[in-house]
Amino acid sequence: MRITFLGHAAVLLEGSRRVLIDPFLKDNPSAACAPSAIEAVDFIVITHDHFDHVGDSVEIAARTGAVIVAIHEVAMRLSAAYPQVKTVGMNIGETYQAGGVIFSMTPAVHSSGSGAPAGMVIALDGCRIYHAGDTAYFSDMTLIPDLYGEIDLACLPIGGHYVMDIRQAAMATRAIHPKVVVPIHFGTWPTIAADPSMLEAAVKPTRVNAMKPGESLDL
């Protein structure tokens, strides 16, 4: 399984299925590529209803036939506005399985234009990825590996403004104890500048794999 960081909170998982998370590309100054560069996707996960997470989901879903997986209200809103797009609505605590991919929706402590903010644990080809979405640290993160199994890779926001800062992301890392942490949601704009090497220092010996937009990691 290959994970590619596309900038901000956008992440592409490629294995026997392709799962795109929070594809904010067109208006993202740090995007690795344009939405048109995303050629084939099976599922698009939207963690919550903010512009920097919904992003180009509708355009990519309409073009590729990908199914949008999001919390119920976001799925309803998008399917009402864009009937050409396929959506699946979930809720927090639910596990939804399709095409060999297992999606488990987790809480997130944040806000959302509709529905509630969420994170997602995605199991694909024997790898388990946790994308935290936008969130503050919350102590129930300790339950994520208890509920869903060991997390191979956690995408955690570190930008501080709007989301966790480095100190909270270190607490989240200790709560989830993933094998690898990929910092997200920083550096897109000056307001969310952060230095991922500070997270690395704070959580040693846990591996922090900071990626530049466009970089990949094979699990």
Q: Which residues bind Mn ion (CB under 5 A)?
A: 52, 134
- Which of Mn ion, Ni ion, none does residue 18 bind to, with CB < 5 to 8 Å depending on kind? none
CA 105 – CA 70 distance, rounded (Å): 9
Q: Are 1 and 125 in contact (CB under 8 A)?
A: yes
Helix (H) or strand (E) holding 20: strand 18-21
- Which of Mn ion, Ni ion, none does residue 200 bind to, with CB < 5 to 8 Å depending on kind? none
**Residue 189: how many other CB atoms lie within 10 Å:** 14
Q: Which is nearer to Mn ion, 22 or 200 (CB)?
A: 22
- Closest distance to Ni ion from the beta carbon of 28 (Å): 13
Q: Which is nearer to Mn ion, 52 or 56 (CB)?
A: 52
Query: What is the sign of the dihedral through the CA atoms of 121, 211, 36 and 192?
Result: positive
Of 135, 204, 146, 140, nearest to 169 by C-alpha is 135
* Chain positions contacting Ni ion, by CB under 5 A: 50, 134
Which pair of tokens denotes residue 100? Answer: 């060999």
Q: Which is nearer to Mn ion, 14 or 49 (CB)?
A: 49
Backbone angles phi, psi at 212, to 5 degrees: -80, 150
Q: Which is nearer to Ni ion, 18 or 110 (CB)?
A: 110
- Which of Mn ion, Ni ion, none does residue 42 bind to, with CB < 5 to 8 Å depending on kind? none
- Closest distance to Mn ion from the beta carbon of 53 (Å): 6
- Closest distance to Mn ion from the beta carbon of 144 (Å): 20
- Closest distance to Mn ion from the beta carbon of 10 (Å): 11
- Closest distance to Ni ion from the beta carbon of 5 (Å): 18
- Cα-based distances in Å from 90 to 35, 74, 190, 199: 25, 9, 34, 32
Q: Which is nearer to Ni ion, 18 or 185 (CB)?
A: 185
- Which of Ni ion, Mn ion, none does residue 77 bind to, with CB < 5 to 8 Å depending on kind? none
Beta-bridge mates of residue 154 = 130, 181
DSSP-derived secondary structure for 74-131: HHHHHHHH-TTSEEEEE-TT-EEEETTEEEEEEE-SS--SSS--EEEEEEETTEEEEE
- Which of Mn ion, Ni ion, none does residue 14 bind to, with CB < 5 to 8 Å depending on kind? none
Q: Which is nearer to Mn ion, 42 or 134 (CB)?
A: 134
- Closest distance to Mn ion from the beta carbon of 201 (Å): 25
- Which of Ni ion, Mn ion, none does residue 49 bind to, with CB < 5 to 8 Å depending on kind? none
